Amino acid sequence: MIVGTAGHIDHGKSALVAALTGRAMDRLAEERRRGITIDLNFAPLVLPSGATAGVVDVPGHEDFVRTMVAGASGIDVALLVVAADEGIMPQTLEHLAVLEHLGIAIGIPVVTKADLVDPDWLELVQLEVGERLAGSSVAFDSPLATSARTGAGLDQLRASLAAHAAALQPRRSADLFRLPVDRAFSVPGVGTVVTGTAWSGRLRVGDAVTLLPAGQPGRVRSIESYGQVLQHSEPGARTALGLAGIGREEAHRGTWLVSAEVAWPAMAAMDVELALQPEAPRPLTARSRVRVHLGTAEVMARVQPRAAIEAGGRGLARLVLERPLVARGGDRFVVRSYSPVATIGGGRVLDPDPPRRRTIWPPSLAASAPAERLEALMERRPLGLRATLLPVLLGVSPAEAAAVARARGDTRLLGDHWVRESTLVELGARALSLLKTHHRTHPSDRGMPLETLRHALRAPEPLIDQVLAGAVAAGKLRVVDGVAVQSGFRPRVEGGDAEIDRVVRILEAAELSPPSLAELELSTGRHDVAAILRLAAQTGRVEAVERERYYARPALDRFAATLADIGRTRLIAPSDIRDRLGISRKFMIPLLEWADAKGITERVGDQRRLRNA
């Protein structure tokens, strides 16, 4: 369990944590000098039950709200601190808004410095605080009065923390590991150490990790939690990880450590549901520039709302991020105005990796049930959804994500993609229509080169494989020598068989010195001579001896007969053939190679021998 403080400057947050944990807060020289908290402080708190909670102490100064947000994200229980002598102040409310936007479930209002006021006053402040928090989305206990000076109320606070810890739903360890880094330093002999609250999942010593958004690969060298050396991390615990392969300069607050098992992309945009504070000075309109705080990161973003979002209202929007974030479906975040800096709202991530073009916004995108959200996510990705990304998009464990996808009757896993059956049907229809069009526009071609067809389908490879295999199995198309052919299609040439005859007769007349394709195109005035001859070759009337030169069947028969005649009694020399057939080297060499390839002859030095003689 992680407990975090919140509340106005000087209201006694650090004194409270120090009194609870016995650890001094505010250890920076500047903090001591100014008497305020500037950076986050962390301390373990041993509860009466023996369990250890992690405490995050945040600054209350209005200049350090960004640090407070980084500290508050990922906490389970908030201690909202209000000094008895001052009551509710501006950062009490700003921190409250942060807790609400971050979706913190549980809060304990702590009225501190009880020793400074008389009991009546104390009661009044407690009443005021209780009333103010009654409508909050954070489930607050009734206010508890404490004094760090006298120790009053501390045992009661410990007891209620223990009760919350016992009731807390443990975070899933069988989930993707993600840790927003809140501190990084180097330790001699260990290397880079990062600390943070492990939001989900579990790492073991030796595991491969990735530091995002840079994508730096590393390995876990050591794990520590609350001063204990561990073999594996626990979700929801303060965790220090010694890392190999990741430099101190690369790791800092605002980066993320994830398990290398997941190809977790850093996102340049995310689609969200945004709520604007009632006190927000102006509506959020297209291109409003805001600060987005998610985890320990703060990035600038442009808002593209579906419709302007008014103060006190909520709506859907795309956040175009100026630096990438490592978001997950369901993540909560805080939005602050660019200038002057103030907390103006927050929201929930609906699609952390939205398709860029022609995005649709199905209503179920904002639903809370994973199955409904999956429906919307799939509608947005008509060509399927990467299975490894699904737990990131839905914000549930890989097992649950797969179960949700499998529970849909109309969806199946192809390679690494969850695909709807209807998508496959549509893609199959498109493949056939592309093929049909190709046959119509290239009637003399054998068919469409498979690679061209695959490319034109513009879909992930496993889908294309499936769709083409399905079409072949259904007898709708064939693939021959890398060419796709629609069933029943026969190549045709303009002019039909008469034109084929005409070209074949030219070759027959040319006997063993036939024209090349280019020469034939010139003499016939046709550009499709190659297609005509491919068709004629299918019936055996002609044969390609060279790539660009076909021979008529009778001429080749005569050549073969001549070889047989000479070869019956002796080796065949090229000069014999020249004498008998009167053809030049230009034709003879390819013809002899053709005869070798056909198994009629074989080479013996410069001469040939009949193979079957």
Ligand X SMILES: Nc1nc2c(ncn2[C@@H]2O[C@H](COP(=O)(O)OP(=O)(O)OP(=O)(O)O)[C@@H](O)[C@H]2O)c(=O)[nH]1
* Per CB under 6 A, 345 contacts ligand X: no
Out of 2, 3, 4, 11, the only residue in the binding site for ligand X (CB under 6 A) is 11
| Partner from ligand X, Mg ion, none binding residue 15, C-beta < 5-8 Å depending on class | ligand X
**E strand intervals along 341-498:** 343-351, 385-386, 411-414, 417-420, 448-449, 477-480, 483-486
- Report in angstroms how near the CB of residue 374 gets to ligand X at its nearest: 43
Amino acid, single-letter form, for residue 340: P
| Partner from Mg ion, ligand X, none binding residue 491, C-beta < 5-8 Å depending on class | none
- Report in angstroms how near the CB of residue 287 gets to ligand X at its nearest: 35
* Per CB under 6 A, 113 contacts ligand X: yes
Complex with Mg ion: residue 57 or 511, whichever CB lies closer: 57
CB-based closest residue to ligand X? 60
Any idea what the Cα angle at residue 482 is, between residues 481 and 487, rounded to 5°? 80
Out of 21, 52, 73, 112, the only residue in the binding site for ligand X (CB under 6 A) is 112
Complex with ligand X: residue 37 or 296, whichever CB lies closer: 37
3-state secondary structure of 353: coil
Positive or negative torsion for Cα 298, 300, 306, 310: positive
The Cα–Cα gap between 22 and 188 comes to 28
- Residue 430: CA count within 13 A, CB half-sphere: 17
> What is the tally of helices (H) and strands (E) in the chain?
18, 31
Complex with ligand X: residue 113 or 178, whichever CB lies closer: 113
- Report in angstroms how near the CB of residue 257 gets to ligand X at its nearest: 27
Complex with ligand X: residue 13 or 318, whichever CB lies closer: 13
* Per CB under 6 A, 87 contacts ligand X: no
Any idea what the Cα angle at residue 557 is, between residues 555 and 561, rounded to 5°? 120
Out of 149, 323, 476, 580, the only residue in the binding site for ligand X (CB under 6 A) is 149
* Per CB under 6 A, 9 contacts ligand X: yes
* Per CB under 6 A, 62 contacts ligand X: no
Out of 3, 15, 267, 344, the only residue in the binding site for ligand X (CB under 6 A) is 15
Which contacts (CB < 8 Å, 24+ apart) does range 201-204 have? 201/172, 201/173, 201/174, 201/175, 201/176, 201/177, 201/235, 201/259, 202/173, 202/174, 202/177, 202/232, 202/233, 202/234, 202/235, 203/177, 203/232, 203/233, 203/241, 203/259, 204/231, 204/232, 204/233
Complex with Mg ion: residue 14 or 423, whichever CB lies closer: 14
* Per CB under 6 A, 66 contacts ligand X: no
CB of 537 closer than 8 Å to CB of 544: yes
| Partner from ligand X, Mg ion, none binding residue 295, C-beta < 5-8 Å depending on class | none
**Which residues in 178-214 are b (16+ Cβ under 10 Å) and which e?**
bbbbbbbeeeeebbbbbbbbbbbbbbebebebbbbbe
Strand pairing report for 314-325 and 297-305? antiparallel
- Report in angstroms how near the CB of residue 112 gets to ligand X at its nearest: 5
* Per CB under 6 A, 549 contacts ligand X: no
* Per CB under 6 A, 254 contacts ligand X: no
CB 498: neighbour CB atoms within 10 A? 8
* Per CB under 6 A, 95 contacts ligand X: no
Strand pairing report for 2-7 and 52-57? parallel
Complex with Mg ion: residue 71 or 213, whichever CB lies closer: 71
Question: Which residues would be at the binding site for Mg ion (CB under 5 A)?
Answer: 13-14, 37
* Per CB under 6 A, 374 contacts ligand X: no
* Span near ligand X by CB under 6 A; candidates 56-64, 160-168, 293-301, 546-554: 56-64
* Per CB under 6 A, 423 contacts ligand X: no
Complex with ligand X: residue 113 or 608, whichever CB lies closer: 113
Out of 3, 4, 14, 240, the only residue in the binding site for ligand X (CB under 6 A) is 14
3-state secondary structure of 42: strand
Residues at the site binding ligand X, with contacts judged by CB under 6 A = 9-15, 36-37, 59-61, 112-113, 115-116, 147-149
